[in-house]
Amino acid sequence: MNLSFFDQFSSPSLMGIPLILIALTFPALLLPSPDNRWITNRLSTLQLWFINLITKQLMMPLDKKGHKWALILTSLMMFLLMINLLGLLPYTFTPTTQLSMNLALAFPLWLATLLTGLRNQPSASLAHLLPEGTPTPLIPALILIETTSLLIRPLALGVRLTANLTAGHLLIQLISTATIALSSTMPVISLLTFMVLFLLTILEVAVAMIQAYVFVLLLSLYLQENI
């Protein structure tokens, strides 16, 4: 049976049961479990140091009022980071290549930041829709433009994450297919494409980490505007 390049993005199933929930819950097994001891092992110490580093980076642009969101943002960052990296392994499924899932993550969190601003400082939140010093004839058009840009934020978050990961996976599959196809006829060209594939894989690891960070960082910036 001939498979399409896009079949890798379809949700896997076993006996008609979707396995995406397993793909979503498996990264939680890689997190360190709570322990009463100060020092457990080097892996747990490294994981805790990395989590603390991520938390500091995410909380840096926020005021003290926004530090209440530290647990949510750090957990989301670790969740996206592990899913993106595990999706680069062979014969795995990457849930973050699904636009529906990314929108399900982006929209509620964006809406929570927006409602936080409308509840705590409604005047300042609504003031973002109209820049100061706007000429009177341009007020209706600017309000419409700013409202559209505000409402499109969750869509931009989801599409950015989906598009970057999908493009990377497609490139890896295309180049790996070309490497295997050329290995018997043109081994020198196949070796060159393998080197390109190796470099692209390293790039995709960086993209997986950067996209997870950008997703959460933009949410923290949206939160900063509303607190």
Q: In three state form, how does the secondary structure of 7-75 look?
A: HHHCCCEECCEECHHHHHHHHHHHCCCCCCCCCCCHHHHHHHHHHHHHHHHHHCCCCHHHHHHHHHHHH
Q: Residue 103: its pLDDT value, please?
A: 92
Residue of 167, 210, 200 lying closest to 81 (CA atoms): 210
DSSP calls for 148-183: HHHHTHHHHHHHHHHHHHHHHHHHHHHHHHHHHHHT
SS3 134: coil
Q: Residue 109: its pLDDT value, please?
A: 93
pTM summary value? 0.83
Burial (CB count <10 Å: 0-12, 13-18, 19+), residue 217: middle
* Residue whose structure tokens are 């959460």: 216
Residue 94 tokens read as 């990457």
Q: Residue 39: its pLDDT value, please?
A: 62
Q: Residue 1: its pLDDT value, please?
A: 38
Average pLDDT by stretches of 10, the chain with 227 residues = 60 70 74 66 80 87 84 89 86 84 92 88 77 76 85 92 90 87 85 91 92 91 85
The full set of domain ranges for the chain reads 19-226
Q: Residue 185: its pLDDT value, please?
A: 84
Q: Residue 2: its pLDDT value, please?
A: 47
